[in-house]
Structure 1
Amino acid sequence: MTDELSAAPTPAHRPTERVFHGDTVVDPFEWMRDKTDPEVIAHLEAENAYADARTAHLEQLRATLVQEFIGHTQETDLSVPVRRGDWWYITRTTAGDDYPKFTRVADTGTMPQVEPGVMLEGEHVLLDAQAEAAGAEFYSLGGLAPSPDHTLLATAVDTAGDERFTLRITDIASGEVLDEAVTGAGYGLAFSTDQQWLFYARVDDAWRQHQIWRHRIGGPAGEDMLVIEEPDERFMIGFDRSRDGSTLVIQAGSTSTTEAWLLDLARPTSTPVPAGGRREGVDYTVEHAGDRLLIVHNDGHRGFALAQAALESPERREELLAAAEGERLLSIEAFAGFVALELRSGGLASVRLIPRAADGTLLIEQASDISHGGELDTVEIDANPNWDQTTVRYQLTSMLTPPTIAEREVASGATEILRVTPVPHFDPSLYVERREWATAADGTAIPLSVVARRDVPADGTAPGYLYGYGSYEMSIDPSFVPTRLSLLDRGVVIAIAHVRGGGEMGRNWYEHGKLLEKKNSFSDFVAAAAHLTDSGQVAADRLSAEGRSAGGLLMGGIANLAPERFRAIIAGVPFVDALTTILDPSLPLTVGEWEEWGDPLHDPAVYEYMRGYTPYENITAVEYPAIFASTSLNDTRVFFNEPAKWVARLRETVTSDQVERPILFRCEMVAGHGGRSGRYRKWEQRADELAWLLDQLGATELA
């Protein structure tokens, strides 16, 4: 054993027994769960020091990557102005600043012509996040909402990374802070019509958003009123303000079931009115459409359907449109003169526009889809806050298309490109993107989104990078990520494996990758890896992989299932001790997760199935890829101890040479589920990961 390897932290074995369904599991590292234990903190700090030592030789490459990331970014930049009422709201970034400024300027009848770094006459800074974050190691803005008459601004700020926010209400004209009484809030901000009340959410000890509260502006938080509480631990609750400003739309949901209520914002102390009820397995979303409700639901429709209902009788639905074969209807956004339906079709995100007649009727026969014809185009609704607008803004992106904001006139179909995100030193003609298909073990065709430089030959020598997620019906759609250019320009072939468990190919795709079919996600990813190497696009000994959060579970699963397929793996905030977590209903989100993974606490079959794939408990004494795991001490979604335990067991079990294939672990001591805050610090964190990855792939030099 070398001195370098012997420096790896080796936490003490303190065996604890876990006994369920006649199965006894001895866990030597469960003691590391307690982040108040000085020995645990010392171990995490030792892991960080070890990672520093093992990557010290990459210091110059890290610095180079950060400069490349910056070089592909217009540092002083701005958003397309968004009109809200009589004001245009703008977000500005400045070179050297981690955080943006939020500004506005009065509407004069047309969208203002804006320039990066040049303030308009009369433009007013609402929030300087860079100044607000001064002195804080972590800063996250969880919400920013102007009041109905645009005289007040409500913000939600987290400076710990635990996604619990302090609320602040400011008088925009004077800058005076009127209220910051509410702390520990969840996501969501909405003013009452009279601006006397602010609605917000609270989370319980398990970080489940379970209550909606009403706070009188200027009053003490102790006098706040509970509006509604969700008692079922499987459900989380949230709200939105309707586009016409009349109604608070409250929705509680698990992964399979929904219930909705409406509250009249002109009567803020009134009781929420049911808007659809709750039936097990019926999943729906409600959109307040002025004179009616629009509902996207799965009651009798696997791909979901669009229905409408009267405001007075939301339970009596009239079907308007059902998903066609290969489609999955996602959500609906209503305007006075049209609606915009977000859906998936052919594995891609799309938007369908449906005009409304003068009486509000949806003219289904006149529906049209927004399309730009790209094989990997992702089209999604952008900010459209005004009820009476006649155009719809949307965002177009792909793996080679920088985020593009466009606006379509619904009546005529005329489209205007408002902005293409500038990407300095990027020539798209040097690259190619395409859709490919792998064949899973059961014969299912698995879509991949692939991008590479045109000059990279498919001769079996190129390094590769494969990303995946595959849970919660979340889709990892093709999108432009500037930091990927540093991989592409070193000859790395990049692919996304759209495995089952995600939502890319519709509801069935999700259902065949969850519960007792979860292992499909792992085998699909391995099939995608085999496709890349068997086709000659990637060298068999130079393929890497990455997944984060539930995608980290995917990484742990494929490392156990097919370790020979991968040279290196990045596992970010990985959910790798899944069975231990899902067995403990006192832990954050566990009960709500039973609909995704199953309930191993009460069901022996689920326990046995999860016991067979949970990464921490299935490591074997064979050669493994190099592994870089990362987490954050204050992560409330995946606790830091999961990767800490996983890494410790990997190191003492695998037979691979850990000098050549190191197993590293970094823990951010002040951060949350998304890692560091601030764009420059995020770039530094990403450079740390990618420098390690490129070193493992032997691809540190530009091609």
Structure 2
Amino acid sequence: MKRTCFTFFITLTLYSMTQAQPTPVAAPKAAIKPKELITNGHKRIDNYYYLNEREDPEVIKYLNAENAYLEQELAPVKGLQEKLFEEMKGRIKQQDESVPYKEGPYYYYTRFITGGEYPIYCRKKESLDGPEEIMFDGNAMAKGHNYYQLGGYEISDNDELALFAEDTVSRRLYTLRIKNLKTGTVYPESIPDTEAGSFAWATDNKTLFYIKKDPQTLLGYQVYRHVLGTDPKNDVLVYEEPDNQFYMGLGRSKSKKYITIGCDHNGVSTEYRLLEANNPTGEFKVFLPREKGHEYDIVHYKDKFYIRTNWKAENFRLMEVPEGKNADRTAWKEVIAHRPDVYLANMDVFVNHLVLGERKAGLTNIRVINQKTKTDEYLDFGEPAYVAGIGYNPDFNTNVLRYGYSSLTTPNSTFDYDMDTRQKKLMKQQEVLGGFDKNNYVSERFYVPARDGVQVPVSLVYRKGTKKDGTAPLLQYSYGSYGYSTDPGFSSTRLSLLDRGFIYAIAHIRGGQEMGRRWYEDGKMLKKKNTFNDFVDVSEYLIKNKYTSSDKLFAMGGSAGGLLMGAIINQAPQLYKGVVAAVPFVDVVTTMLDESIPLTTGEFEEWGNPKQKQYYDYMLSYSPYDNVTKKAYPNLLVTTGLHDSQVQYWEPAKWVAKLRALKTDKNQLLLHTNMDAGHGGASGRFQALKEIALEYAFLLNLLGERQ
């Protein structure tokens, strides 16, 4: 009897196992459909070019197959992924509120409610003890949408009307609407395909200006004037940008006197046009005509303009000019001279003070100049690696500066600084739940010599007690493009790695602007490979100095940082255990040859125009997709969004398909496509955490951690 029962148990168990286990999903193989591409007399064959057909059922089937394969491969850490999500979510104070700022008679702030994915935008009149007015409830507005983004709002001069923009696709084509804040009525006008945050009211409280975007290239190229209560079809075109290499922005000056149109040629040229806000039917006038190599920003104050300019000043200097004489550069007067070791990043103006945002030795600084006493002061932050920046200060007539601060160990903090008494007051610090104590973590900052002798700054953080004997896993992050500086700020999600023994390192590589404008210039165009070399050289330094080892070193980057990931695994795949490439720009040559693709034309000054052989050859020598070969690659997780407006989904899809066909290793190669989102990933504060949890689970799985 016992033998019979035992046999029955084995039989039942084996049956249950065979029934419970799903049929393994094989690694997807995209069909090969060769397409010949000829540029500058050079022929390339692209086997996966067809994957750019977003509406093709075969393409969607392939993306879904890749998603199913990823689910199978990461099934062993599905529980860990959920645990990470709950862990990160648990650190967030769900019912939270921003520090209010005063503009006009109102105090404005945002708040979150328990369980709410989106912020609620509120205001109170005259006093913070007054009744709350809810302007926009993001949670209610997002209902019924898989994706939702409020792209800013602008209040009319009489404080009664609000312009606001919405995106429900994640394509960054926003629909502009108008809301009456007194009645709660949303007016029938609906203006599609506009630029987020680029709109402004005239002083009459009925005329507004906005930027229209090309639905194909996604470039803002037209400025229209609209009158409240009229059909948008009758809106008046007031400016059209003739050069598709320029990006446009539109807004109202801090002084409220001017409506401004800003045109920027991606780090090469700037031009502003101004219109007095009390004359909405007037003509926009050029502040200073565009000139190749000249970039400038302006702030209007009383009867003059302050100008941040790189005219005869690579790291920028500050000038001023009387109103009405701005086009005459001989009338410009220098306020702050150029300094070769200090990059003038931004500025703000107050009635008695001038505030400068500067960069020196790779770190941000805030400099306060008292215009009456002619004395100045640099704020002291007291940590080796941090980020500080001028906040939103809409009022000229104040001696209080709002600024933000955080570090690798200090949560995001908002300060008010009395510029007369030099006293600072902490208004709010991000509350991190779950027992966080900054004293449990250590940050470091040092320099690594690159192969050409340049010293590359590195900022890193780890939990106290983490051994630096080569046994710790380390995640190295960088971006390194467009002059965008990756500053060492705080992340509560990162704690999930630090508490599991990870070291987190930021390599401040060339292509960013941490070390000044030259740092950027030496990491773009025909010097782009410096970006990749810097990253690899930092990796080798971290291994050599026993911060980690090659079997525990991971790398992560997104967008142009995803290009970096593709380049480093082609150059030095043996250094990395695993790599996360988020929305990666990896098909550089093909994308930059197609001017119908969003953002292409505006990027020629970043990467070069491949229709010119010199740039074509150089791009082709590093483009990750074009340089995939038969060799071993690290474990790789690639993420994208079907509706990505900046890096089209087919770039990572093609890259993964080619890697899968050619790689000689048995390492994981996973592609995750968010079928409802774009470049920024999922919307909502909690939904976005699920994507981070996926990335972290991928890393931890490679270390054998399942819990």
Offset, 1:5: 8.4
- Partners in 1 of 2:223 and 2:558 — Cα distance? 30
Distance 2:681 2:527 in 1: 30
- State the match for 2:7 in structure 1: none
Q: After TM superposition, list the pairs within 5 Å mapping 1:81-96 onto structure 2.
A: 81-96=100-115
1:233 partnered with 2:248:
no
Cα offset, 1:6, TM superposition = 6.8
Match in the other structure for 1:161 = 170
- The 2-side partners of 1:453 and 1:563 are apart by 28
Secondary structure of 2:469 counterpart: coil
Partner of 2:530: 520
Q: Give the AA of the match of 1:160.
A: V
C-alpha distance in structure 2 between counterparts of 1:165 and 1:568, whole Å: 37
Residue type matched to 2:650 in 1?
A: N
Please give the alpha-carbon distance, in whole angstroms, between the structure 2 residues aligned to 1:371 and 1:267: 44
Q: Which aligned pairs between 1:677-688 and structure 2 lie closer than 5 A?
A: 677-688=683-694
Give 2:191's aligned residue.
182
Identity of aligned residues (%): 37
Q: 2:615 matched to 1:606?
A: yes
Aligned pair 1:594/2:613, yes or no? Answer: no
2:316 match: 304
Deviation, structure 1 residue 334: 2.2
C-alpha distance in 2, partners of 1:353/1:548? Answer: 35
Structure 1 residues 615-674: Cα deviation after superposition (integer angstroms, max 9, x where no partner)? 0011122211111111111111110000000000111111111xxx21101111111210
SS class of match (2:682):
coil
Pairing 1:229-308 to 2, within 5 Å after superposition? 229-255=240-266, 256-308=268-320
Matches within 5 A, 1:598-677: 598-601=608-611, 603-657=612-666, 661-677=667-683
Structure 2: give runs of 5+ residues left out of the alignment. 1-21
Provide the residue aligned with 1:213 in structure 2.
224
What secondary structure sits across from 2:590 in the alignment?
helix
Determine the C-alpha separation between the residues in 1 that align with 2:28 and 2:550. 31
Q: Is the 8 A contact 1:470 1:499 kept in 2?
A: yes
Distance 1:318 1:436 in 2: 39
Asked whether the equivalents of residues 51 and 665 of structure 1 are also in contact (C-alpha less than 8 Å), the reply is yes
**1:9 counterpart SS class:** coil
Alpha-carbon shift at residue 179 of structure 1 (Å): 4.1
- What is the CA-CA distance between 1:505 and the residue it aligns to? 0.6
- What's the secondary structure of 1:201's corresponding residue? strand
CA shift digits 1:572-592 (9 cap, x unpaired)? 110000111111222222121
Deviation at 1:66, TM superposition (A): 1.0
- 1:14 is aligned to 33
- 1:249–1:288 CA contact under 8 A, matched in 2: no
Amino acid at match of 2:548: V
Q: C-alpha distance in 2, partners of 1:225/1:644?
A: 42
Question: Amino acid of the residue matched to residue 346 of structure 1?
Answer: A
Amino acid at match of 1:348: L
Give the corresponding residue for 1:68: 87
- Equivalent position of 2:18 in the other structure: none
The answer to whether the 8 Å contact 1:491/1:699 transfers is no
Q: Where do residues 130-529 of structure 1 align in structure 2 (5 Å cutoff)?
A: 130-187=139-196, 188-204=198-214, 205-255=216-266, 256-315=268-327, 316=329, 317-357=332-372, 365-424=374-433, 425-529=435-539
Give the match's secondary structure for 1:183: strand
Whichever residue aligns with residue 24 of structure 1, its letter is: K
* Long gaps (5+) in structure 1: 113-119, 358-362
Supply the distance in 2 between the matched residues of 1:144 and 1:73 (Cα, whole angstroms): 26
User: Is 1:44 paired with 2:78?
Assistant: no
Equivalence for 1:116: none
Question: Could you tell me whether the CA contact under 8 Å between 2:194 and 2:220 is conserved in 1?
Answer: no
Tell me which of 45, 49, 54 is aligned to 1:35: 54
The one-letter amino acid paired with 1:489 is D
Residue 134 of structure 2 corresponds to 125
Instruction: Say which of 569, 581, 594 aligns to 1:559.
Output: 569
- CA-to-partner distance for each residue in 1:475-507, whole Å, 9 max, x for gaps? 010110111000000000100111101111111
Query: Over the residues paired in the alignment, what is the CA RMSD in angstroms?
Result: 1.5
Please, which moves more after superposition, 274-283 or 332-341? 332-341
Q: CA deviation at 1:291?
A: 1.5
Retained in 1: the 8 A contact 2:274–2:285? yes
Please say if residues 349 and 355 of structure 2, whose CA atoms lie closer than 8 Å, have aligned partners that are also in contact.
yes
CA distance in 2, matches of 1:173, 1:392: 31
Alpha-carbon deviation of 1:11?
Answer: 1.1
Normalising by structure 2, we get a TM-score of 0.94
Shift of 1:176: 1.0
Deviations 1:379-437 (A, max 9, x none): 10112122322211000111111111001112221211111111112111111001121
1:45 deviates by 1.2
CA distance in 2, matches of 1:24, 1:4: 42
Deviation at 1:557, TM superposition (A): 0.3
Instruction: Report if aligned partners of 2:509, 2:534 keep a CA contact under 8 Å in 1.
Output: yes
**Residue in 1 that maps onto 2:15:** none
Equivalence for 2:6: none
How big is each residue's C-alpha offset from its partner over 1:499-520, in whole Å with a ceiling of 9 and x where there is no partner?
Answer: 1011111110001111111001
Shift of 1:121: 5.0
SS of the residue corresponding to residue 426 of structure 2 reads strand
State the alpha-carbon separation in 2 of the partners of residues 89 and 464 from structure 1: 41
CA drift at 1:182? 1.0
Q: Which residue identity lines up with residue 217 of structure 2 in the other structure?
A: A
The code of the aligned residue for 2:242 comes to P
Q: Secondary structure of the residue that 1:367 maps to in structure 2?
A: strand
CA distance in 2, matches of 1:242, 1:354: 22
Query: Match for 2:37: what amino acid?
Result: R
The number of aligned residues is 679
Measured in 2, the distance between the counterparts of 1:399 and 1:213 equals: 44
The TM-score with structure 1 as length reference comes to: 0.95
Letter of the 1:281 partner, please give it: G
Aligned to 2:9: none
Quote the residue 2:555 is aligned against. Answer: 545
Q: Where has structure 1 moved over 4 Å in runs of 4 or more?
A: 3-6
2:121 corresponds to 1:106: no
Q: Deviations over 1:452-471 (max 9, x none)?
A: 01101111101010001000
Radius of gyration: which is bigger? Answer: 2
Map of 1:117 onto structure 2: none
Cα distance in 2 for partners of 1:170, 1:582 equals: 40
CA drift of 1:303 comes to 0.9
Compare 622-631 and 584-593 and name the one that shifted more.
584-593
- CA spacing shift, 1:569–1:376, aligned 2, 3 Å: same
User: How many angstroms apart in 2 are the aligned matches of 1:34 and 1:250?
Assistant: 36
For residue 4 of structure 1, report the CA deviation from its aligned partner: 8.8
Is residue 567–residue 697 contact of structure 1 (8 Å, CA) maintained in 2? no
For residues 413 and 341 of structure 1, the distance between their equivalents in structure 2, rounded to whole angstroms, comes to 16
Residue 115 of structure 1 corresponds to none
Separation of aligned partners in 2, 1:613 and 1:673? 23
Bigger drift between 566-575 and 248-257 goes to 248-257
**In structure 2, what residue type is equivalent to 1:278?**
R
CA deviation profile, 1:170-212 (whole Å, cap 9, x unmatched): 1112101124321111121211111111211111221111222
User: C-alpha separation between the residues in 2 aligned to 1:153 and 1:356?
Assistant: 36
How many angstroms apart in 2 are the aligned matches of 1:697 and 1:607?
40
